[in-house]
Amino acid sequence: MSELVLIPGQCTLADLEQIWREGLAVRLDDSARPAIIEAAARIAAAAQGEAPVYGVNTGFGKLASIKIRPEDTATLQRNLILSHCCGVGEPIEPETVRLIMALKLLSLGRGASGVRPEVVALLEGMLAKGVMPVIPAQGSVGASGDLAPLAHMAAVMLGESRALFQGQEMAGAAALAAAGLAPISLTAKEGLALINGTQVSTAFALTGLFDAFRLARNALVTSALATDAIMGSTAPFLDEVHQLRGHRGQIVAARAIRRLMEGSAIRESHLEGDLRVQDPYCIRCQPQVTGACIDLLTQAAHTLEIEANAATDNPLVLIDANLIVSGGNFHAEPVAFAADQIALAIAEIGAIGQRRIALMVDPTMNYDLPAFLTPAPGLNSGLMIAEVTSAALMSENKHLANPCSTDSTPTSANQEDHVSMAAHGARRLKRMNANLTHILGIEALCASAGVEFRAPLKTSAPLAAVIERLRQSVPPLDQDRFLAPDLEQAAELVRSGALLDALPEALLEEVRS
């Protein structure tokens, strides 16, 4: 298995996406070790001292006023993990669990958590050997950290709970043994360091972000195809228009659409004599909408890259200041806001894409294409209900895009009286991206059919290559047939990036920028 060495505080989004998509093993750079050792020594000393230090020699949450004897430290940490294993729902996918564990390593590697190197080594060993804890997806409110799901991760490190190893689910102790690893006994604060933190919320948000960026790039391609299919104007995509406004995403989106359509004979055929003065907004305002979504995703990406490198447990060991400070870095408000931003972008990319689909199937609006893009309307319904499906998915995403970050509720006997709801705010992104994938797949089907109906006029070479790739998986709809497999195939081409890969390398890089 390939291994990625991470420097805490310097990990990039590209590193994290590679861990998630490629299943890489992860270990911390040796430069992190001195601070980890020093912070652990400070915690060990505090555990033996008389001064109360939250979670080290006291209880947790509302029970923080109860002093814990030094000889009970290990029991305190074990009890913390087991009592917090209260997750419910479907298990998180192993790929995302791997990302969660990598994020936890990065947080511990900042040298502010007070765990021993042995804890870090066990996490690294589990990642290297492929021991993936079974973590229920629900149970976190995104403050005091993602307590319940992270407790399920930590429990496997103690030889408890359940884990996957080589594709088989088994008891945590059995999974560790099969991988040649041994469970660990926790010392002062180590249990708290493992379950305090935003790593589950952040992992959900990152995976939503990675797929949303890929789908935004696909949307530039499908929208360019749709524009040519309905003989739309490229004048609104002129660079001068977008430079006058100045938003980077808008400028990039317009440039990509222009480049995708360069050399289209369809476009050349109606440069003069076209009685339509302006196209509908779903064509004319693509750069303004998709570009704004790209900017929103970029802003969220910046937040999440910072969060991925952050120390987010409590209390934190401030080595230089010689302090152990109880704070609130576990509050996932930045992640919750980022998740809400990503959700808005996903919903809007789908909303304008769905309007292009509706435009292409409507004989009163599609500039002489056959009704519902079938050569024999009436006898055949063509892509009529595919458009309805896209509308259903668009509407569902609109509902899911409602903010989660504003929905706080007090917990833990009002000690934790304002929470972020980041975990489920970020978890919904997977469902929203799945919906958007199908919307864009349907748009690709409709736009390809529309371009083909323009024969003998041809589209641009890049867009022709995209249609050719689509037709390798989905033949033209000459007459009605069982359509569900076509929709799934088109969605898979979007999901996998196969349509993007059909572009020439130089243009692909431009779309990715």
The residues assigned a catalytic role are 54
Q: How far is CA 286 from CA 13, 235, 277, in A?
A: 27, 12, 17
CA angle 198, 199, 201 (to 5 degrees): 70
- Beta strands 132-133; 162-165: pairing state: antiparallel
Cβ atoms 460, 236 nearer than 8 A: no
Nearest to 213 by CA among 8, 405, 21: 21
Tokens found for residue 127: 């990642």
Cβ atoms 486, 238 nearer than 8 A: no
C-alpha 392/C-alpha 398 separation (Å) is: 10
Locus of tokens 């930590």: 154
Q: Residues of 241-250 as b/e, b for ≥16 C-beta within 10 angstroms?
A: ebeeeebebb
Tokens found for residue 437: 């994938």
Other CB atoms within 10 A of residue 274 CB: 12
CA angle 41, 198, 38 (to 5 degrees): 10
Cβ atoms 438, 393 nearer than 8 A: yes
Cβ atoms 58, 94 nearer than 8 A: no
C-alpha 164/C-alpha 127 separation (Å) is: 12
C-alpha 133/C-alpha 101 separation (Å) is: 9
Q: If DSSP codes are grouped into helix, strand and coil, which group holds residue 178?
A: helix
CA-based Rg of the chain, rounded to a whole angstrom?
A: 26
C-alpha 192/C-alpha 20 separation (Å) is: 25
Cβ atoms 303, 334 nearer than 8 A: yes
Tokens found for residue 384: 């009529």
Locus of tokens 């030094």: 70
Other CB atoms within 10 A of residue 251 CB: 17
Nearest to 158 by CA among 121, 125, 191, 117: 191
Tokens found for residue 372: 């519902």
- The arrangement of strands across the sheet holding 132-133 comes to 132-133, 162-165, 168-171
Other CB atoms within 10 A of residue 322 CB: 8
Locus of tokens 């790929």: 95
Neighbouring residues of 180: CB distance < 8 A, sequence distance ≥ 6? 129
